[in-house]
Structure 1
Amino acid sequence: MESFVQAMMTSLGPFGIALLMFLENIFPPIPSELIMPLAGFRATQGDMSIVTVILSGTIGSLAGLVPWYYAGRALGEARLTRLAARHGRWLTLTPADITRANRWFRDRGPLAVLFGRLVPAVRTLISLPAGIAAMSPPVFLAFSAVGTLLWTSALALSGYLLGQAYDTVAAYVDPVSTAILILMVGLYAYRVATFRPEGDAH
């Protein structure tokens, strides 16, 4: 897994970082917790500056949020709830998940977007209720940008500050990240196989 991320960054440079972070938000095949520290480490090798790394990761991540925001805005809570009820098996998303996310957003307002970007479990999901609530796009992007910048900076700087020690850490990162990916795929398959919308008879 680490070798794939390295290859993307080597061949595409900053665009590779942005692309990986974009895909991580659309469908997380590779976690940002692997992408950004590795990109930060590469900055110590002179491939690119740490500022370029952070900006590339932030821009790519923000681009990945936009489709989710506009999906929420275009479909609305009622249609998304029906979509989750009908196709939730493949999304592993129940109507109750939509309701809870919307309630959490309404209780916290724009700050939910900012702080939600710092929480791995809700980093992408928070874009849906923001769209449903028709949050102003500039406000959504502004709060998302702040949260995303903090997140990508922390991860990139962790790899940057490790410096040469990252070579030692990387020996463990690759098998661990591969194992995590296999586990994620396995959990997804399990949830698809056992998924039941809330309220269905078991």
Structure 2
Amino acid sequence: MITFAEKYGKYVFVKPDDISATNDWFDSHGKKAVFFRKMVPGIRSFISIPAGMNKMPLLPFLILTALGSSFWTTVLTLAGYYLGENYQVVETTLAPYSNIFGGLVVVIVVGWFVEQRSSD
């Protein structure tokens, strides 16, 4: 994988050192990462990449994926059940915060791209 990063990494903003650091981090925190990242929208799919790169055994990966996804799905289902017909109130209350959160995500992503471009 490092040879791929050395050859094409600059086009997708990935350095060989980033791959090595990710592998080291996954070796230390892989099981927790798979379990907890399956609860986070937008990230849940991407945790499979470092798991595969680090040759995480399939059975533990599937079990942790099922547990993490089941936990998150249960939380969302219970929230929907208990909020019931008050969903409009919740939506109105959270709408301004979702705009702030969306703007913050854009700023972080743009900042990351600028940092990556300037460090090349």
For Structure 1 versus Structure 2, the TM-score category normalised by the shorter chain is 0.5 to 0.7
- Output the aligned Cα RMSD: 3.3
Residue 106 of structure 1 aligns with which residue?
Answer: 27
Q: Percent identity?
A: 32
Q: Which runs of 5+ in 2 are unaligned?
A: none
Q: Which residue of 2 aligns with 1:178?
A: 99
User: What do residues 71-129 of structure 1 show as CA deviations (whole Å, max 9, x unaligned)?
Assistant: xxxxx4x246436741344xxx5544433332232224545422443467964443222
C-alpha change, 1:155 and 1:124, in structure 2 (3 Å) is: same
TM-score by length of 2: 0.67
Check conservation: 1:85, 1:95, Cα contact below 8 A.
yes
- 1:86 aligns with 10
When residues 142 and 181 of structure 1 are mapped into structure 2, their CA distance, relative to the original with a 3 A threshold, is same
Q: Deviations over 1:19-55 (max 9, x none)?
A: xxxxxxxxxxxxxxxxxxxxxxxxxxxxxxxxxxxxx
Pick one of 161, 171, 191 that aligns with 2:112: 191
CA separation in 2, counterparts of 1:100 and 1:124? Answer: 20
Residues 1-202 of structure 1: matches in 2 within 5 Å?
Answer: 76=1, 78-79=2-3, 81-82=5-6, 85-89=9-13, 93-118=14-39, 123-196=44-117, 200=120
1:195 match: secondary structure: helix
Return closer, same or farther for 1:96/1:160 CA change in 2, 3 Å cut-off.
farther
Task: Give the Å deviation of 1:188.
Answer: 2.1
Q: Which runs of 5+ in 1 are unaligned?
A: 1-75
CA distance in 2, matches of 1:120, 1:99: 25
Query: Normalising to structure 1: TM-score of the pair?
Result: 0.45
Say if 2:6 and 2:15, in contact at 8 Å, map to a contact too.
no
User: Matched residues in 2 for 1:102 and 1:157: separation?
Assistant: 36
